[in-house]
Amino acid sequence: MPPRKMAAAKAQPDHGPNRGQASASKKNTARDTPTNQAEEQQIDIQAAITEMLNESQQRISEALQNRQNNLLNMIMQCDNMVNSPRKTGRK
């Protein structure tokens, strides 16, 4: 608990038969606090960004692999044309 919240909690006296126990209205799950909601939202956003980055990286890798294969094929075609006996007159 941050120091501000601890100080605020200590400043409020607790009287009555249920002293020391939070009432039903004061019982919040960790998810109900604005800080935890913001943290969970940030984690969700980070997870979504990470997923998008991974997908983009995968698409880029595939595109680069395709380009590399295409260039290799073009080089092989050029090499075949240059070294072809039909084009050079060699037998």
Q: Is residue 22 part of a domain?
A: no
At 1-58, the pLDDT tens digits run: 555 555 555 555 555 555 555 555 555 555 567 889 999 999 999 999 999 999 999 9
Q: 33 phi and psi, to 5 degrees?
A: -80, 140
pTM of the model: 0.49
Give the structural domain span for 56: 39-82
**Tens of pLDDT, residues 59-77:** 999 999 999 999 999 999 9
Q: Is 20 helix (H, G, I), strand (E, B) or coil?
A: coil
Domain count of the fold of the chain: 1
Residue pair 37/43 in contact (Cβ under 8 Å)? The answer is no
Q: Is residue 31 a part of any domain in this protein?
A: no
Scanning the chain, the segments in alpha helix (DSSP H) are 3-11, 34-83, 85-88
Greatest alpha-carbon pair distance for the chain in Å reads 109
